[in-house]
Amino acid sequence: MKRRDFMALGAAAVLSAGAAWAEPLDYTEGLAKAHLAKGEVVFLDFKADWCSTCAAQERAITALMAENPEYAEKITFINVDWDQFGRSDLVKELRIPRRSTLVALQGDAEIGRIVADTKKSTIKALMDQALAASS
């Protein structure tokens, strides 16, 4: 195999692997409800850029998504900026107590939630519940 062919195949493999990765959506008013209305499972991450707990949760979520691409394929992940939407109707309706809250929803039902927990195993359990609900 020529070096040029090897490089082209390697680039194609990297690009195709990246294509499977779905970046979380940034919340706007009504976004979560629109995805829920389509029957999707939605995973909301209430976070702030300055929050160290939120950053630890994000690292765990990113690692878990890299380990299991099914999460990104079957669950809609939405980041909710606490500084912008911390007093929104969504926060009030879901009774979100603070930033660093993770909530999985399907339809009108809450699948589960985590508040301020950064353990990868706990976050994985919630993501697994969401994945099971999406099937």
Residue 4 included in any domain? no
The DSSP letter of residue 108 is T
Residue 52 in domain: yes
Q: Say how far apart CA 35 and CA 41 lie, in whole Å.
A: 8
Q: Are 44 and 92 in contact (CB under 8 A)?
A: no
Q: In this structure, is the dihedral angle defined by the CA atoms of residues 70, 114, 78 and 19, taken in order, positive or negative?
A: negative
Tens of each residue's pLDDT in the chain, 135 residues: 555 554 444 444 444 444 445 789 999 999 999 999 999 999 999 999 999 999 999 999 999 999 999 999 999 999 999 999 999 999 999 999 999 999 999 998 999 999 999 999 999 999 999 999 998
pLDDT for 23: 85
Pair of tokens at residue 82: 């606490």
* Residue 10 included in any domain: no
Question: In angstroms, rounded to a whole number, what is the distance separating the alpha carbons of residues 99 and 121?
Answer: 20
pLDDT at 135: 83
- Report if residue 40 sits inside a domain: yes
Q: In this structure, is residue 1 part of a structural domain?
A: no
Please report whether residue 15 resides in a domain. Answer: no
105 within some domain? yes
Which amino acid makes up residue 117? D
Domain CATH code at residue 46: 3.40.30.10
Structural domain includes residue 17: no
Count structural domains, the chain.
Answer: 1
How would you classify residue 107: left for phi > 0, otherwise alpha for psi between -120 and 50, otherwise beta?
Answer: left
Which residue range forms the structural domain that includes residue 99? Answer: 23-134
Place of tokens 């994985």: 124
Give the position of tokens 């909710």: 80
Is-above-0.85 flag for pTM? no
* Residue 70 pLDDT: 95
